Amino acid sequence: MVQAQAVRQLSYIQAVNEAIRQEMERDETVIVMGEDIAGGGDREDKQDAWGGPMRLTKGLVGDFGRQRIRDTPISEAGFVGAGVGAAASGLRPVVDLMYVSFFGVCADQITNNAAKIHYMFGGKVNIPLTIMTGIGAGTGSAAQHSETLYSIFTHFPGLKCVVPSDPYTAKGLMIAAIRDNDPVIVFNNRQLMGIRFDVDVPEEAYEVEIGKSNIAKEGTDVTLVGIGYTTKVCLDAAAELEAQGHSAEVLDLLSLSPMDDEAILESVQKTRKIVIVDEDYPRCSIASDISALVAEQAFDYLDAPPRRVNPPHAPVPYSRPLEALWVPNKDTVVEAALGVLE
Amino acid sequence: MPEGKELYMLQLRRMMLIRRFDETVQTMVQSAELVGMAHVYIGEEAVAVGACTALRDDDYITGNHRSHGHPISKGGDVRRAMAELLGKATGYCKGKGGSMHLADFDIGILGESGILASALPVAVGAALGSKMQNNDRVVVSFFGDGASNQGACHEAMNLASVWKLPVIFLCENNQYAVTTSYRDTVAVENIADRAVAYDMPGVLVDGQDVMAVYEATVQAVQRARDGGGPTLLEARTYRYEDHSEGLNRILREPYRTEEEVARWKERDPIKLHSAWLIEQEVATQEEIEAVRNDVRQAIEDALEFARQSPYPEPEDLFTDLYSDPLPAR
């Protein structure tokens, strides 16, 4: 297969940064709040010093100033809640929840306010709030800075949840999230921030539609469902399966809430086998949810039971060899796929 | 903004509306016409009315589970409030919110949260919205003595102060978190004293005196509109009834003395304001009675409107889940 030369390569971090920058230029009601997102204290000569530990907001304070790029106290309940109130009163805030494991200290603001206000008050007010948060293991950050947890948020009606898988979807989903009139949580996997991708990221602003998945690779023998980082794992596994004579289709889920049920069912009706690869804990996970969907709605098409690949039901360990065992990888996915192909 | 007699009579009317509304709620709970949770505001009327009559229509408020008094104080429609309590489609929230979540966004009500202190950060965000859009709106966030111990309360106050936002944190200290006295749960003598930690004025005010609350709020609003930042007001008040309707059926031991309740009822906010109106020769007893009769009629009309209104349709289970409808799953 001849791959077209990528026209414009950006890193995942640059893609998110460009999305925020372009939306801030387009719409002056877009603001960003979070811990250390500007950084550098109040020193004017340090305007571009930091941009948060993931550098997603680097340089924005220099262009947009400290009114629109707001460093907050370490008060997640305070500033996530303020994001809800700002959204209800005419702004279009982006709130940075540095690591998803911090959600515990502000869960009430997300689940009781952001998710419910539009419905509970009869649709009188929209909450155009974007929460971006870092997820994922594999960086030696131990149990409290490595979780994925997106399943928890999909449990709540009223929230939209998206998981980009590369710089192209990172930019397009971030722009779509900011423009959306409902609360959207964008889960950015930290391992994706350190990978070079050979994908074209157009310079102009564009949206990747929330609620739609993407067939990242077509195939006929088995469907591999990937979410964020695990889409890359699935693509690597598909290449190895191809070498062994099996044609795997990779469905990049991208959106968890709403979820593209139709695309999953359509793919499994073609391949008759499905492996769902999910970096979140196995119990009550997206993988479990998709297994149930397929079992309920495509049972007659299946040649094998749906197969879930999740980490073990244990916190993320710090030690490198243990952490490597924890995260789903190419080998575990190939093994699972061969299991359903037999 | 109303002034003089117009203001004082408006305050009387709104306090009476809340009282009559909530007395009606009590009978509706007793007769099982209203089956959900209901937290009445009887005894505390001067706090919300005093504060909201110091606000413009486009100023914001946030409230809590005890949510009947706040929208009525802000000028809400008692017919739509009553319809909401009965879960009707004509209610403020189309029957989706109920007693704890009466909100009219058209008059600046940003909603009530049944999770204590949950609405304080939201109020801070609305104040940020106001400041960044230069629309000069202030926000009053009502919360109780119980909520004053929540982390979100302190995070909100600190954030509002460091960003100098136009918020008035109004603590309705009705002295009991369900049955637990604030004396047992608040480390300082007055909740207003906590303002020191956030470098904002902390003002203790007589919550039974509508004019006292009004005047304290006017000052806090002025400071907020002038860019001076937030204020913490503590209105010392009293909840005549139990935390929620029907609670007396499960409470085995009294948590406060009859003498204490009687002592507070002597300083009833409607009686105090009525006496002041007569003493100051603002109104006659006849005028006050006319307001009372008018209010009684308005609440009867509201109840009739609510009873005659339709329930939501089954498909409304999914309406307003998102701003753009999504297929049900």
Stretch B243-257: mean pLDDT: 85
Domain count, chain B: 1
Q: Does B4 touch chain A (CB under 8 A)?
A: no
Task: Please list every residue in chain B whose beta carbon sits closer than 8 Å to the beta carbon of residue A105.
Answer: 151
Q: In which residue are the tokens 């860019």 written?
A: B227
Helix %, strand %, coil % of chain A (to 5): 40, 15, 45
CA distance B53 to chain A (A): 21
Question: Band of the pLDDT at B36, cuts 50, 70, 90?
Answer: confident
Between chains, do A85 and B124 touch, taking CB under 8 Å as contact? yes
Task: Please list every residue in chain B whose beta carbon sits closer than 8 Å to the beta carbon of residue A117.
Answer: 111
Q: Does the residue B326 lie in any domain?
A: no
Comparing C-alpha atoms, which of A88, A15, A87, A89 is closest to residue A58? Answer: A15
d(CA B50, CA B179): 26
Task: Please list every residue in chain B whose beta carbon sits closer than 8 Å to the beta carbon of residue A262.
Answer: none
The pLDDT of residue A1 is 47
Enzyme catalytic residues of A: 76, 145
Closest chain A residue to B98, measured at CA: A120
Task: Please list every residue in chain B whose beta carbon sits closer than 8 Å to the beta carbon of residue A88.
Answer: 110-111, 122, 125-126, 129
Between chains, do B155 and A77 touch, taking CB under 8 Å as contact? yes
Nearest CB neighbour to A31, from listed B132, B158, B162: B132
pLDDT for residue B246 is more than 90: no
Between chains, do A81 and B120 touch, taking CB under 8 Å as contact? yes
d(CA B167, CA B137): 9
State the best of B132, B154, B164 to mutate against chain A, taking most chain A CBs within 10 Å.
B132
Between chains, do A119 and B96 touch, taking CB under 8 Å as contact? yes
Nearest CB neighbour to B129, from listed A91, A118, A121: A91
Q: Are A234 and A274 spatial neighbours (Cβ–Cβ below 8 Å)?
A: no
Nearest CB neighbour to B122, from listed A73, A85, A124: A85
B116 Cβ contact list (under 8 Å, min separation 6): B64, B65, B143, B144, B146, B147, B150
Closest chain B residue to A91, measured at CA: B129
> For A10-202, which CATH class?
alpha beta
Closest chain B residue to A68, measured at CA: B132
Task: Please list every residue in chain A whose beta carbon sits closer than 8 Å to the beta carbon of residue B132.
Answer: 29, 31, 67-68, 86, 91
Between chains, do A126 and B158 touch, taking CB under 8 Å as contact? no
Question: Band of the pLDDT at B1, cuts 50, 70, 90?
Answer: confident
Helix (H, G, I), strand (E, B) or coil at B289: helix
Q: Does the residue B324 lie in any domain?
A: no
CA–CA distances in Å: residue B15 to residues B10, B76, B108, B234: 9, 13, 19, 19
CATH of the domain at B282: 3.40.50.970
B225 Cβ contact list (under 8 Å, min separation 6): B136, B138, B166
Between chains, do A158 and B127 touch, taking CB under 8 Å as contact? no
d(CA B123, CA B62): 6
Between chains, do A91 and B320 touch, taking CB under 8 Å as contact? no
Q: In which residue are the tokens 């989903």 written?
A: A173
d(CA A38, CA A59): 8
Structural domain boundaries of chain A? 10-202, 214-341
User: For residue B87, what are the domain limits?
Assistant: 4-309
CA distance B248 to chain A (A): 29
Nearest CB neighbour to B159, from listed A68, A82, A90: A82
Stretch B101-118: mean pLDDT: 91
CA distance A122 to chain B (A): 4
B128 Cβ contact list (under 8 Å, min separation 6): A82, A85, A86, A89, A91, B163, B165
Q: In which residue are the tokens 């909740």 written?
A: B191
Q: Write out residues 44-83 of B within 8 Å (CB-CB) of A.
A: 60, 62
d(CA B319, CA A331): 45
- Residues paired with A94 in a beta bridge: A32, A130
CA distance B108 to chain A (A): 9
ipTM computed for the complex: 0.95
d(CA A121, CA A127): 12
Paired tokens of A215: 């067939």
Nearest CB neighbour to B155, from listed A75, A90, A117: A75
Q: Are B200 and B168 spatial neighbours (Cβ–Cβ below 8 Å)?
A: no
Comparing C-alpha atoms, which of B58, B51, B65 is closest to residue B14? Answer: B51
Q: Does B138 touch chain A (CB under 8 A)?
A: no
Torsion-angle region of B227 (φ positive above 0: left; ψ -120 to 50: alpha; else: beta): left
CA distance B5 to chain A (A): 33
The pLDDT of residue B277 is 98
Closest chain B residue to A123, measured at CA: B320
The pLDDT of residue A2 is 53
Comparing C-alpha atoms, which of B260, B226, B225, B221 is closest to residue B240? Answer: B260
Between chains, do A29 and B121 touch, taking CB under 8 Å as contact? no
Task: Please list every residue in chain A whose beta carbon sits closer than 8 Å to the beta carbon of residue B71.
Answer: none
Task: Please list every residue in chain A whose beta carbon sits closer than 8 Å to the beta carbon of residue B119.
Answer: 113
Q: Does the residue B322 lie in any domain?
A: no
Q: Does the residue B44 lie in any domain?
A: yes
Instruction: Considering the domain delimited by A214-341, tell me its CATH architecture.
Output: 3-Layer(aba) Sandwich (3.40)
Nearest CB neighbour to B156, from listed A78, A121, A125: A78
Stretch B155-170: mean pLDDT: 98
pLDDT for residue B249 is more than 90: no
Q: Does the residue B325 lie in any domain?
A: no
CA distance A93 to chain B (A): 10
Count other C-beta atoms under 10 Å from residue B215's C-beta: 14
Q: Are A279 and A227 spatial neighbours (Cβ–Cβ below 8 Å)?
A: yes
The pLDDT of residue B223 is 98
DSSP state of B205: E
CA distance A82 to chain B (A): 4
- pLDDT (tens digit per residue) in B260-294: 999 999 999 999 999 999 999 999 999 999 999 99
Q: Does the residue B318 lie in any domain?
A: no
Q: Write out residues 212-231 of B within 8 Å (CB-CB) of A.
A: none
The pLDDT of residue B328 is 53
The pLDDT of residue B326 is 66
pLDDT for residue B192 is more than 70: yes
CA–CA distances in Å: residue A68 to residues A31, A34, A62, A170, B140: 5, 11, 11, 22, 24
Q: In which residue are the tokens 């936002």 written?
A: B165
The pLDDT of residue B168 is 98
d(CA A197, CA B105): 46
H or E stretch covering B176: strand B176-177
Could you tell me how many CB contacts below 8 A there are between chain A and chain B? 159
DSSP string for residues in A261-291: HHHHHHHHHHHS-EEEE--S-STT-HHHHHH
Between chains, do A81 and B121 touch, taking CB under 8 Å as contact? yes
Q: Does the residue B233 lie in any domain?
A: yes
B34 Cβ contact list (under 8 Å, min separation 6): B25, B28, B85, B86, B99
Show the low-confidence residues of chain A (pLDDT under 50).
Answer: 1
pLDDT for residue B297 is more than 60: yes
Q: Does the residue B150 lie in any domain?
A: yes
End-to-end CA distance of chain B: 48
Paired tokens of B113: 């949260």
